[in-house]
Amino acid sequence: MIKNPKHIKSFLPGIIVDVKTAAGNVVKKGDVLIIFDAMKMHNRIIATTDGKVKSVNVKQNDTVPKDFLMVELE
Amino acid sequence: MSILKQKIEELKNLKAEVILGGGEKAIAKQKDMGKKTARERIDALLDKDSFLEYDMFIQHEAREFGMLGKKLPADGVVIGTGKINGRNVAVFAQDFTVAGGSLGFMHAKKITKIMDVALNSRIPLIGINDSGGARIQEGVGALAGYGEIFYRNTISSGVIPQLSVILGPCAGGAVYSPALTDFVFVVEGISKMFITGPDVIKTVLGEEISQEDLGGARVHAEITGNAHFCAANEDDCFEQIRTLLDYIPHNNDKQSQCPAPVKTPLNKVKIETIVPDNPKIPYDVRDVIKAVTDGGDFFEVQALFAQNAVIGYGRINGETVGFIANQPDALAGVLDCDSADKVARFIRFCDSFNIPLVTFEDLPGYLPGVDQEHMGVIRHGAKILYAYSEATVPRVTIILRKAYGGGYIAMNSRHLQADFVFAWPLAEIAVMGAEGAANVIFRKDIADAEDPVDARNKKIEEYKDKFANPYVAAGKGFIDAVIEPCETRKYLIHALNICKNKQVERPYRKHGNPPF
């Protein structure tokens, strides 16, 4: 399936280490949005497109399941 | 005017007629789509004035459905030979302005003729695809043509590099020639590849999808992995082809590689500053590759597909090397179905054409999950083991940080007969990560402890001290040397030079049976 670049989802279950953005922020392709701990790594979850953040659905230390919609862009 | 002069004049006129292809109107339409004509493409790709065309006067033999007497200049495909960066290549380019570049029997005959020239002369074959598909009026004759092409693609595989350039539609049976070749090039907005198009999908399944979303350039570069290189326009695509052909040998004869002059490596970035000490912090492994190659050059293959593994070409002391690396910056660098396919096929290309392999390893293991298991990660993952084990080219591994479990074995370990395995002092070579291992080994101790969290942390530290280092593996001789990061290029040059004339004896077999 073609991924929707405006829907930033978790690729595995994991823990939110840090949230680097907030609703209303304007982000550029390549900006780090979330630091996500999974597979022994603090993964940098980046924006794959330019946009404005519609909602951030996680906070620091949250445990999220796989495919959880962490950030949504407008 | 002498008879010869008259005849030459006649020849010139006939040629001009053929070169006009489908006529000015069709050419204008081609240009409107942002596309060059077949002959313009060849001129743009090859060295200036190096191309000679064959079979300009080929005529189709179709009689039915109003085809009798219908003229199709060059039967819709241009074939010939020329040079790229001074080295010979064979080319065919389908001409969309002539009957939509449709493939008839004689059209296919021309393609197979140039394929035979390429194989017999041991020069690369470049196929530029821009075709509406089989010429339906010719029926089974067209199908025969495809089959003849597929057969030659297969027989040439591993003997000469075969490049497919998708510069227009390439649908139905036509997709399988590119799929059998070594490298597929696509251009955004121009390339369209699928087995059954949107119309059929709508009729049969009721699903609506555009050509671009079904099989456009980005789809094949990012999702399917069918494409190896994606460019913004045709000129950039041709530049990628020329660069690739500079890196790779032009046939599988050991002598054919022409080394480039040695460039000094870029020392802008100190290699020891690239990889963070904390194994949980990601980085871009391509920076490590660029820190060891001549001039800091790295030509990445399939850059947008399965980004958790990085593959591509660079030079070390002038000689081309195939690099394979786990990418901690994407999915933590795990192996999965797609990255396994990507790495395995790259290894087999390099081995076929005598390109030494250098592997940079830093991975947590295989990606867990029901979808991966059900997609057959066992079968796909096995391809990496097979490809490395089978390869007889020099193989050197550098363990940067994490080397755990099945991932450690798969990434060109000593046990798969790597020639040399080196590790950085940060390397952690163990059957699994410290946290997982402590949970298993000390399950009872942790459960019975007064403070299980504290006990668990202590056991994790204990395991880390004992096993999360390169010295256990080095103690068994599985690592040849633990090296400082700044010594990496020096060790690579030395190791590749030592096994330059490597000889490997294999038992007789017709061929192996890799887990395709």
Query: ipTM score of the complex?
Result: 0.86
- B109: number of Cβ within 10 Å: 19
Residue B423: beta bridge partners? B399, B482
- Cα separation, B429 vs B364, in Å, equals 10
| Band of pLDDT at residue B256, cut at 50, 70 and 90 | low
- B153: number of Cβ within 10 Å: 21
- For residue range B16-64, list pLDDT tens digits in order: 999 999 999 999 999 999 999 999 999 999 999 999 999 999 998 887 7
Q: State the average pLDDT over residues B170-175.
A: 90
A47 assigned to some structural domain: yes
Predicted confidence (pLDDT) at residue B264 exceeds the cutoff of 80? no
The candidate with the shortest Cα–Cα distance to B81, out of B38, B129, B128, B42, is: B42
Predicted confidence (pLDDT) at residue B494 exceeds the cutoff of 70? yes
A25 assigned to some structural domain: yes
Residue of B213, B331, B402 with shortest CB distance to A2:
B213
- Cα separation, B298 vs B306, in Å, equals 18
A17 assigned to some structural domain: yes
- Cα separation, B176 vs B114, in Å, equals 18
**How confident is the model at residue B460, as a pLDDT?**
87
CA distance A41 to chain B (A): 4
Give A-chain residues touching B433 at CB under 8 angstroms.
40
**How confident is the model at residue B66, as a pLDDT?**
79
**How confident is the model at residue B434, as a pLDDT?**
81
Residues near B347 by Cβ (< 8 Å), separated by ≥ 6? Answer: B322, B324, B357, B384, B387, B388, B391
With contact defined as beta carbons under 8 Å apart, do B432 and B365 qualify?
A: yes
Q: Which domains does chain B have, with CATH numbers?
A: 3-247 (3.90.226.10), 260-433+469-498 (3.90.226.10), 434-467 (no CATH)
| Band of pLDDT at residue A34, cut at 50, 70 and 90 | very high
**How confident is the model at residue B5, as a pLDDT?**
95
- Cα separation, A43 vs B77, in Å, equals 49
Number of domains in chain A: 1
A22 assigned to some structural domain: yes
- Cα separation, B315 vs B293, in Å, equals 5
CA distance A3 to chain B (A): 9
A28 assigned to some structural domain: yes
Q: State the average pLDDT over residues B400-423.
A: 96
Q: State the average pLDDT over residues B443-455.
A: 87
- Cα separation, B425 vs B262, in Å, equals 29
**How confident is the model at residue B267, as a pLDDT?**
60
Q: At what angle do helices B285-292 and B488-498 cross, to 10 degrees?
A: 60
- For residue range B452-463, list pLDDT tens digits in order: 888 888 888 888
A16 assigned to some structural domain: yes
**How confident is the model at residue B265, as a pLDDT?**
72
A59 assigned to some structural domain: yes
Question: Chain A contact for B276, CB < 8 A?
Answer: no
> CA triplet B151, B113, B80: central angle to 5 degrees?
130
Strands B319-326 and B357-363: parallel
| Band of pLDDT at residue B95, cut at 50, 70 and 90 | very high
Residues in A 41-70 with any Cβ partner in B closer than 8 A: 41-44, 66
A2 assigned to some structural domain: no
- For residue range B106-139, list pLDDT tens digits in order: 999 999 999 999 999 999 999 999 999 999 888 8
Q: Which domain holds residue A35?
A: 7-73
Which of B308, B327, B331, B363 has the most A C-beta neighbours within 10 Å, making it the best mutation to test the interface with A?
B331
Concatenate the DSSP letters of all residues of B49-108 into one string.
T--EEE-TT------TTTTTT---GGGGEEEEEEEETTEEEEEEEE-TTTGGG-B-HHHH
- Cα separation, B320 vs B313, in Å, equals 7
- Cα separation, B11 vs B23, in Å, equals 19
Residues in A 8-27 with any Cβ partner in B closer than 8 A: 11-12
Question: Chain A contact for B212, CB < 8 A?
Answer: no
Predicted confidence (pLDDT) at residue A1 exceeds the cutoff of 60? no
Partner-chain contact B213 A44, CB within 8 Å: no
Give A-chain residues touching B282 at CB under 8 angstroms.
41-44
Q: Residue A28 maps to which CATH number?
A: 2.40.50.100
Average pLDDT, chain B: 93
Question: Chain A contact for B333, CB < 8 A?
Answer: yes
